A and B are shown apart, each in its own frame.
Chain A
Amino acid sequence: MEQQRSHIYGILGEFATPQSLIQAAKQARQAGYTSIDAYTPFPVEGLNEALGLKRTFVPLVTLIGGLLGGLGGFGFEYWVSVISYPENIGGRSLNSWPAFIPVTFELTVLGASLAAVFGMLAMNKLPQPHHPLFNVDRFQKHASTDRFYLCIQADDPKFGLADAARFLQGLKAEHVSEVHDD
């Protein structure tokens, strides 16, 4: 099935306002389309719900990064000060943990931040220099400035080229274009 339609990525509808895009996204889902995505020049409130997006894993990844950073940081300081290079300074305790807290804290923040950013990029599958949508002229001109797009993708089980195009026109999309893979 994928093979047959490889030359078409989907059908793209253009909307003038965030409100009309949200409306269109809701109706597309009601009509039974499941493989849809929206493209906007800034994050639009209410769009995630309209598209039925699930929660992201970014917070979880960040938490894991922070835990690894913090535990790793403290563990390393402990290993250095107690195991690898113990220094007996007037019999003071080797595991002087309060003095290890600043570095532990900094490494927690560092680990969490790196995980948040690189986790976000990885889950978004970025960097991805090319995407079929960039083949659409109007998308290139307007998607990062002032227009709002809804794409019904060809891998949707309900997808039919003419049907989807007619459907988007019915939603009062200002332009409807086919998105080609190459």
Chain B
Amino acid sequence: MSTLEPPAADKHPHLQRLTPVLGPGHTYVSITDKISSIVLTRPVSLGWLLGFGICFAIMMLLMVAITYLIGKGVGIWGINIPIGWGFAIVNFVWWIGIGHAGTLISAILFLLNQKWRTSINRFAEAMTLFAVMCAGLFPLLHTGRPWYAFWMFPYPSAMGVWPQFRSPLIWDVFAVSTYFTVSLLFWFVGLIPDLATLRDRATAKWKGVVYGMLAMGWRGSARHWQRYQSAYLLLAGLATPLVLSVHTVVSFDFAIAIVPGWHTTIFPPYFVAGAIYSGFAMVLTIAIPLRKAYGLEDYITMRHLENMAKVMLATGLIVAYGYFFEFFMSEYSGNKWDVFLVAQRLHGPYAYFYYMLILCNILLPQLLWIHKIRTSVFMLFLMSLIVNTGMWLERFVIVVISLTRDFVPSAWGRYSATFWDYAVLLGTLGLFTGLLFLFVRVLPAISIAEMRELVAHSSEEHE
């Protein structure tokens, strides 16, 4: 009835090289069965248990690290004066950037009517949520007294004081919490029809009850769909400027300060591009094992992977442009602090971080120009890990190199991370991956309703 025929190559010669966004031969039922079976009927595999077990152990490390931190204070980290930010802020900026690709895929590609987004948007949005959760931990812990974190929110306190709304750090609080809330809403709205599907297909009564409550009685009425689509489109339109604003505000944390290397107007666009760059790398890091483990190669095709590689290549070039102009403007301005900063990056004590950053973020990703590499799953996976590392190094270079040697040599310092810094970073990786493991088991990792739409459209096109 709605079988998808492969496009006839002689009629559409330009389609010959493009892998379709959906494998051939799928119907509404086959898609629903396949995606919902991962959640409903597939038994828990040994691989899943092992993977989740490892992540859970790492999460416990995070818990130990946080407990010790709360007991002893932030002194257990490598931070000092003048390097007050250290790993906490490096990790915060890195994680929040990773989240950006999820919103880009779900909102911006939706507005641009890119059909290939359909099978990757759900888990990319989940990735956004989990990444923002990890990101949020860092400023919270970095305050030193996380139990007073509510002071950052405006509430009528007995002290009669309010947050300082002229400070970028308060803008950050609003940007990140709004971003998390809107991402959660967007994700949940997208899930409602699929939750109804799971409710109707539940294999056990309790599953039906749980999914039923979450689906809120969705029954697919045309009137409901009309409002639903309107709300979804509006959310996409709202999330688009929001996602751009979030990393802009994060970059203001730096750009509004006068520290050399931070005080520059190129920061907002270059942070946003970097965020999307690392985010797409993370989507690839997740998508490649996911499609392999659950046999989703028909839904997350080579076309998706190749497109993501192209986005990575493009945003990587924007980032390279940012690096170049940072460098150029420092020299061109003749400002002695800025000139000195460039020298520090190239020859200072942390120069090897800078060279690694250039290697990971600019030089190696140029391999993506080669079609063979863009279509090799293994190379893409490797590349995604390289870019993630590179983006982390970028944040390190920005935070640490600028702070170690600013204006007066008597105020210079050195920074090195301690075991507990690494424990928290590794711990959030465990938390992030562990949440993803749970997510693929309890919620459909691919939007079933949108995939059905894709089947309907494809069958109409080929009739």
Residue A33 at the chain B interface, CB threshold 8 Å: no
Residue A124 at the chain B interface, CB threshold 8 Å: yes
**Are A113 and B175 in contact, CB atoms less than 8 angstroms apart?**
no
* Chain B residues within 8 Å of A141, by CB: 200
How would residues 192 to 226 of chain B score, 1 for a CB under 8 Å from any chain A CB and 0 otherwise?
01001101110000000000110011111111111
Q: What is the interface size of chain A, counting residues whose CB is below 8 A from a CB of the partner?
A: 60
Residue A8 at the chain B interface, CB threshold 8 Å: no
Bound form: Cα–Cα A85–B161 in Å: 7
Residue B431 at the chain A interface, CB threshold 8 Å: no
**Are B32 and A146 in contact, CB atoms less than 8 angstroms apart?**
yes
Known: A18-B456, A109-B178, A109-B182. A47 touches B245 (CB 8 A): no
Overall SS of chain A's interface = helix
Interface centre among A37, A103, A114, A144 (most CB of B within 10 A): A144
Which among A48, A56, A116 is the interface contact of B235 at CB below 8 angstroms? Answer: A116
**Are A114 and B165 in contact, CB atoms less than 8 angstroms apart?**
no
Nearest CB to that of B463 among chain A residues? A19
Known: A85-B162, A109-B178, A146-B29. A129 touches B1 (CB 8 A): no
Q: Which residues 85-105 of A have a CB within 8 angstroms of B?
A: 85, 96, 99-100, 102-103, 105
**Are B182 and A53 in contact, CB atoms less than 8 angstroms apart?**
no
Which among A59, A103, A145 is the interface contact of B171 at CB below 8 angstroms? Answer: A103
Which among B165, B170, B181, B252 is the interface contact of A113 at CB below 8 angstroms? Answer: B181
Nearest CB to that of A85 among chain B residues? B162
Q: Which residues 106-159 of A have a CB within 8 angstroms of B?
A: 106-107, 109-110, 112-114, 116-117, 119-121, 123-124, 126-131, 133-134, 140-141, 143-146
Which among A38, A77, A145 is the interface contact of B200 at CB below 8 angstroms? Answer: A145
* Chain B residues within 8 Å of A119, by CB: 231
Residue B22 at the chain A interface, CB threshold 8 Å: no
Nearest CB to that of A123 among chain B residues? B227
In the complex, how many angstroms separate the beta carbon of B44 from the nearest chain A beta carbon?
A: 25
**Are B201 and A145 in contact, CB atoms less than 8 angstroms apart?**
yes
* Chain A residues within 8 Å of B56, by CB: none
Bound form: Cα–Cα A77–B166 in Å: 9
* Chain A residues within 8 Å of B171, by CB: 102-103, 106
Bound form: Cα–Cα A126–B216 in Å: 6
Known: A53-B226, A106-B175, A129-B213. A144 touches B197 (CB 8 A): yes
Nearest CB to that of A127 among chain B residues? B216
**Are A59 and B165 in contact, CB atoms less than 8 angstroms apart?**
no
In the complex, how many angstroms separate the beta carbon of B238 from the nearest chain A beta carbon?
A: 5
**Are A39 and B220 in contact, CB atoms less than 8 angstroms apart?**
yes
In the complex, how many angstroms separate the beta carbon of B178 from the nearest chain A beta carbon?
A: 4
**Are B1 and A116 in contact, CB atoms less than 8 angstroms apart?**
no
In the complex, how many angstroms separate the beta carbon of B299 from the nearest chain A beta carbon?
A: 16
Bound form: Cα–Cα A174–B227 in Å: 28
Residue B154 at the chain A interface, CB threshold 8 Å: yes
**Are B453 and A128 in contact, CB atoms less than 8 angstroms apart?**
no
Nearest CB to that of A145 among chain B residues? B32
**Are A103 and B170 in contact, CB atoms less than 8 angstroms apart?**
yes
Nearest CB to that of A151 among chain B residues? B221
**Are B196 and A144 in contact, CB atoms less than 8 angstroms apart?**
yes
Known: A39-B222, A43-B225, A84-B162. A59 touches B230 (CB 8 A): yes
In the complex, how many angstroms separate the beta carbon of A9 from the nearest chain B beta carbon?
A: 12
Residue B298 at the chain A interface, CB threshold 8 Å: no
In the complex, how many angstroms separate the beta carbon of A179 from the nearest chain B beta carbon?
A: 12
Residue B241 at the chain A interface, CB threshold 8 Å: yes
Bound form: Cα–Cα A167–B168 in Å: 65
* Chain B residues within 8 Å of A113, by CB: 181-182, 185-186, 235, 238-239
* Chain A residues within 8 Å of B249, by CB: 102, 106
Known: A99-B166, A117-B231. A112 touches B200 (CB 8 A): no
Nearest CB to that of B249 among chain A residues? A102
Bound form: Cα–Cα A80–B160 in Å: 10
Bound form: Cα–Cα A176–B327 in Å: 72
Bound form: Cα–Cα A117–B231 in Å: 6
Bound form: Cα–Cα A38–B223 in Å: 8
**Are B175 and A102 in contact, CB atoms less than 8 angstroms apart?**
yes
Known: A102-B175, A126-B224. A39 touches B238 (CB 8 A): no
In the complex, how many angstroms separate the beta carbon of A121 from the nearest chain B beta carbon?
A: 7
Which among B154, B216, B225, B241 is the interface contact of A128 at CB below 8 angstroms? Answer: B216
Residue B242 at the chain A interface, CB threshold 8 Å: yes
Residue B350 at the chain A interface, CB threshold 8 Å: no
* Chain A residues within 8 Å of B303, by CB: none
Bound form: Cα–Cα A106–B177 in Å: 9
Bound form: Cα–Cα A146–B33 in Å: 11
Known: A102-B252, A129-B213. A40 touches B28 (CB 8 A): no
Interface centre among B1, B28, B230, B245 (most CB of A within 10 A): B230
* Chain A residues within 8 Å of B226, by CB: 43, 48, 53, 56
Residue B452 at the chain A interface, CB threshold 8 Å: yes
* Chain B residues within 8 Å of A81, by CB: 162, 165-166
**Are A144 and B200 in contact, CB atoms less than 8 angstroms apart?**
yes
Nearest CB to that of B455 among chain A residues? A42
Residue B323 at the chain A interface, CB threshold 8 Å: no
Known: A16-B1, A106-B174, A109-B238. A43 touches B229 (CB 8 A): yes
Q: Could you list 7 A-B pairs, sorted by A, with CB under 8 Å?
A: A58-B227, A58-B231, A81-B166, A85-B161, A109-B178, A126-B218, A128-B216
Beyond A106-B171, A110-B181: 4 further Cβ-contacts under 8 Å? Answer: A40-B225, A43-B228, A43-B229, A127-B217
